[in-house]
Amino acid sequence: MIFSMPRVAVGLAGFAAMMNMYAPQAVLPLLADEFGVGPAGVSQIMTVNALAVALTAPFTGALAELTVLWQAGGVVTVVAMLAFLLTAVTLVARG
Residue 11 lies in a domain: no
Note the pLDDT of residue 13: 78
Q: How far apart are CA 74 and CA 80, in angstroms?
A: 10
Domain that holds residue 58: 19-92
pLDDT, one tens digit per residue, over 35-83 is: 999 988 888 888 888 888 788 888 877 777 776 655 656 666 777 778 8
Per-position DSSP letters for the chain, written without gaps between them: ----HHHHHHHHHHHHHHHHHHGGGGGHHHHHHHHT--HHHHTHHHHHHHHHHHHHHHHHHHHHHHHHHH-SSHHHHHHHHHHHHHHHHHHH---
Q: Confidence band (pLDDT; 50, 70, 90) for 95?
A: low
Q: Residue 77: exposed, middle, or buried by beta-carbon count in 10 A (0-12, 13-18, 19+)?
A: buried
Residue 10 lies in a domain: no
pLDDT at residue 89 greater than cutoff 90: no
Q: Confidence band (pLDDT; 50, 70, 90) for 4?
A: confident
Note the pLDDT of residue 71: 61
Residue 56 lies in a domain: yes
Number of domains forming the structure of the chain: 1
